[in-house]
Structure 1
Amino acid sequence: MIRSAINGVAVAMLLATTGTALSAANNDPDWPCIQRKVPELSFGQIWTGAELPPPAKDWSNDSRVPELVEELAARRLPIADAQRQIREFAAGLPPDQAKDRLAMLVQGLFEHMDHERSEVMSGIGRYARNQIELAARLRKESSDVDALRGKPDANISEIDARTDRLIWETRVFEERVQSLTYVCEVPTLIEQRLYALAKTVNEVMKEGE
């Protein structure tokens, strides 16, 4: 019965990995999410404003922008508060610096959050590989315990100990499968937040024209 439960969970995981990858036209076997895998974003996906001036690339050297980028990118900060901080930052800029420094801000947000998103996606790949490896180990251990149980001279204490460990590890496996749905949403949440912040920067820049 234990082996049947483990095999059911493992098969569900493997079917989810294979099925969602195929539905998303994705050839990466490590990608378990229903969301299509896009390793990196393009700036044009999140920015609808005018072409940024050359100084935007130097955002990391600004006295305030790098710190603000970190603050705005943090998902624990409500998006409305982040948008308010953008407007407060813009309001405090000298008119002759506003365009360049707001451009720095959006460039910094893009580079920082795209990197964060890529790291999360790499983590999802490792997560999926670990799950598949764990499923294989659980299936083997279940088979081994069944074989041990069938021996006439089997050690009952050993069987009980290995069965308890197998049940615990299967529970951990199931919990990780259940949490995968949330984990898979994180890249999309980052992308949506980046788009919303970039849109606010664009609106502020237009208001200052």
Structure 2
Amino acid sequence: MKRHLKTICRWSLHWGAALLLSSTTLPAMAASNNDPDWPCIQRKVPELSLGQVWNGPELPETAGDWAKDSRISDLVKTVAARRTPIAEAQKEIRAFADSLPADKREPQLMMLARGLFDHLNAERSHVISGIARYAHRQLDLAAWLRKEGSELDALRAKPDADPDEIERRTDQLTWETRLFDERVHSLTAVCEVPTLIEQRLYQLSKTVSDALAEK
């Protein structure tokens, strides 16, 4: 138990020591990590800018009306979903582009590009907020484990301590420590999700820009 408590102390003071795995973010998306409570090795970039993922022509203001077009809105939801394989999503985009009449191709694809950015950027920001909440819960649990471990050690040192209370609190501390460890390992995987969303957005945006260039 003391070994676990030492691990908890180190983890709560140094996030990186518990997070050994990471994935590389796109270079254009890197930013200084100015949040001391951010638990991920991946740098924290709360929101992306369109220029980081879009290399096509400048999008007009009218592209922001993408949600009013049911066909584009439905396509955004379909291809943005991570359950949709990226190759299938790119195929859907190309099929959509090929179905458009010449006079509609550019404005519709620009709306699609804006829709993909708005949708996936919002999803990514939501995930980052969730990671922050997750991390703060871990810090709270780490503080409780340290406190409970110290109190339990003091209780064991008392000659008149209640054996049943010691057993109950030891079982609870063991359980909560196991939960803490499992959440540390889960956090490593969760930290990769924003990067996966960035990569998907970049790939889908490139597919749209390539389709625009083929007009």
More helix by share: 1
- Tell me whether the two structures share a fold, i.e. TM-score over 0.5: yes
Q: Does 1:16 align with 2:15?
A: yes
Query: Which residue matches 1:167?
Result: 174
Counterparts of 1:130 and 1:10, CA distance in 2: 15
Q: 1:38-57: per-residue Cα shift (whole Å, max 9, x none)?
A: 11101000011111233211
Residue from 83, 90, 96 that aligns with 2:103 = 96
For residues 51 and 160 of structure 1, what CA distance do their matches in structure 2 show? 67
Distance 1:26 1:18 in 2: 16
Percent identity for Structure 1 against Structure 2: 58
Supply the distance in 2 between the matched residues of 1:10 and 1:86 (Cα, whole angstroms). 49
How has the CA–CA distance of structure 1 residues 107 and 25 changed in structure 2, closer, same or farther, with 3 Å as cutoff? closer
**How many Å apart are 1:18 and its aligned residue?**
8.8
Q: Alignment RMSD, CA only? A: 1.7
Q: Distance in 1 between matches of 2:164 and 2:6?
A: 24
- Tell me the secondary structure at the aligned position of residue 14 of structure 2: helix
Amino acid at match of 2:4: A
Report whether the alignment pairs 1:39 with 2:38: no
Q: How do residues 1-209 of structure 1 correspond to structure 2 at under 5 angstroms?
A: 2-17=1-16, 25-208=32-215
CA deviations on 1:3-39 (whole Å, 9 max, x unpaired) are 332221331343125999xxx8423122111111111
Q: 1:148: Cα distance to partner? A: 0.9
Q: 1:19 to 1:154 in 2, by over 3 A?
A: closer
Shift of 1:201: 0.4
TM-score, normalised via structure 1 length: 0.92
Q: Is the 8 A contact 2:46 2:128 kept in 1?
A: yes
Do 1:17 and 1:32's aligned partners in 2 also have CA atoms closer than 8 Å?
Answer: yes
